[in-house]
């Protein structure tokens, strides 16, 4: 099975030692990725975008990989600022305040009029808005509660491309069809697990993430649009590494590290569900190219149906399915 120019449309590369430790795990098999800006402090100036991109390029060494950079949304961004930074970024990421790792400086109210100047300027400059869509409500309901905010934004800014990031519920899938300017990323772990896998038996800290995995019917709704390669959905791993001690602790950090095994897991999942390689190609690259209007670097990843024993850790970061066998492995990566 061959995949052309795989893209990861939601990726956390972190910074410093962690960046050095995990950057090649994505850069080896993906042509490019949308890089999340939730560093400490968040990436919110042109200089910070450029400097972070340089650190990423250094960390990936000789791998052929494009980091598609993002800014951390602030309602104070005006059109002059956005025009000046337009060439350096691919999207802007909006976090509700305090909802996930390093999101304390995010947006707390969703007053359309307050957000209007920034969002209208983004529409005019064709800058997509990526959103972590969760309220501060009950943990299982946060995403479904946020759907009305997505719909309000989609109606108020019909020319703004809004990406519902890492969707986990049927409610979000249903909203996709109601607004032409709503799109979504889906992770591989949310296609595979439900809350039962996280907390139904012994607690599995390496499967704990935000948004938390939901019910079987939610997973089924996600699987349907992914397997049929619905043109409004694209793969975004939300691969989010933490040091082992931050996961295996009292107060487990949210995030699942899937970057090095994401394509292998997707190959297995699509095969098990009798979905075509053509649909997988659309889900992991073609749909994203069309939605974002990007032309990724060419890269051909050949996968083979040969069991792969997932390592216990990658430079100290424990991946999903550590020490377990998965059905596909990477045979070869070429420049295409």
Distance (Å, whole) CA 101 – CA 209: 10
Q: Indicate which residue of 8, 218, 238, 286 is catalytic.
A: 238
Pairing of strands 329-334, 308-309: unpaired
Q: Least distance in Å: CB of 91 to Zn ion?
A: 13
Q: Least distance in Å: CB of 236 to Zn ion?
A: 8
Q: Token pair of 304, please?
A: 């083979």
Q: Least distance in Å: CB of 271 to Zn ion?
A: 27
Listed residue (258, 278, 279, 273) closest to 326, CA to CA: 258
Q: Considering beta carbons, is residue 134 or 238 the nearer one to Zn ion?
A: 238
DSSP 318: P
Angle value at C-alpha 267, between 33 and 228, nearest 5 degrees: 85
Torsional sign, CA 286, 291, 153, 117 = positive
Q: Least distance in Å: CB of 214 to Zn ion?
A: 16
Q: Considering beta carbons, is residue 29 or 70 the nearer one to Zn ion?
A: 70
User: Terminal CA-to-CA distance of the chain, rounded, Å?
Assistant: 14
Residues found near Zn ion in the complex (CB under 5 A): 238
Q: Considering beta carbons, is residue 211 or 303 the nearer one to Zn ion?
A: 211
Q: Is residue 238 among the annotated active site residues? A: yes
Distance (Å, whole) CA 89 – CA 68: 7
Cross-strand pairs, 93: 72, 130
Q: Considering beta carbons, is residue 131 or 171 the nearer one to Zn ion?
A: 131
Q: Considering beta carbons, is residue 238 or 286 the nearer one to Zn ion?
A: 238
- Produce one character per residue of 304-314: b if its CB has 16 or more CB atoms within 10 Å, e if not: eeeebebeeeb
Q: Considering beta carbons, is residue 6 or 133 the nearer one to Zn ion?
A: 133
Burial classification of residue 109, based on how many CB atoms lie within 10 Å of its CB (0-12 exposed, 13-18 middle, 19 or more buried): exposed
CB atoms within 10 A of CB 40: 9
CB atoms within 10 A of CB 319: 24
Listed residue (259, 191, 208) closest to 35, CA to CA: 259
DSSP secondary structure string for all residues of 230-298: -TTEEE---B----HHHHSSSSPPP-B--GGGHHHHHHHHHHHTT--HHHHHIIIIIHHHHHHT--PPP
Q: Considering beta carbons, is residue 157 or 257 the nearer one to Zn ion?
A: 257
By annotation, the residues acting in catalysis are: 238
């Amino acid at each position: 099975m061959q995949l052309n120019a795989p893209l990861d449309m939601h990726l956390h590369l972190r910074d410093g030692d962690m960046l050095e430790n995990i950057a090649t795990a994505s850069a080896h098999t993906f042509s490019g990725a949308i890089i999340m800006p939730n560093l400490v402090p968040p990436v919110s100036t042109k200089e910070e975008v450029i400097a972070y991109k340089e650190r990423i390029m250094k960390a990936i060494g000789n791998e052929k990989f494009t980091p598609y950079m993002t800014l951390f949304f602030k309602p104070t961004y005006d059109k002059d600022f956005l025009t000046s930074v337009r060439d350096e970024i691919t999207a802007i990421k909006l976090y509700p305040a305090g909802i996930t790792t390093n999101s304390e400086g995010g947006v707390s109210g969703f007053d359309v009029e307050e957000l209007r100047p920034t969002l209208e300027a983004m529409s005019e400059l064709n800058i997509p808005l990526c959103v972590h869509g969760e309220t501060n409500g009950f943990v299982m309901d946060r995403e479904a509660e946020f759907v009305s905010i997505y719909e309000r934004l989609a109606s108020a800014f019909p020319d703004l491309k809004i990406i519902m990031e890492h969707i986990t519920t049927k409610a979000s899938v249903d909203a996709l069809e109601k607004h032409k300017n709503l799109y979504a990323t889906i992770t591989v772990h949310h296609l595979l697990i439900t809350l039962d896998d996280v907390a139904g038996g012994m607690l599995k800290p390496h499967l704990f993430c935000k948004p938390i995995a939901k019910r079987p019917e939610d997973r089924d709704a996600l699987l349907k649009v992914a397997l049929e390669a619905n043109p409004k959905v694209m793969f975004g791993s939300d691969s989010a590494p933490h040091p082992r001690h931050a996961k295996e602790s009292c107060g487990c950090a949210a995030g699942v590290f899937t970057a090095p095994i994401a394509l292998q897991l997707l190959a297995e999942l699509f095969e098990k569900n009798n979905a075509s390689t053509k649909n997988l190609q659309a889900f992991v690259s073609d749909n994203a190219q069309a939605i974002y209007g990007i032309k990724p670097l060419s890269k051909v990843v050949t996968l083979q149906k040969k069991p792969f024993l997932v390592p216990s850790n990658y430079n100290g970061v424990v991946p999903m399915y550590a020490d377990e066998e998965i059905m596909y492995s990477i045979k070869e990566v070429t420049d295409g």
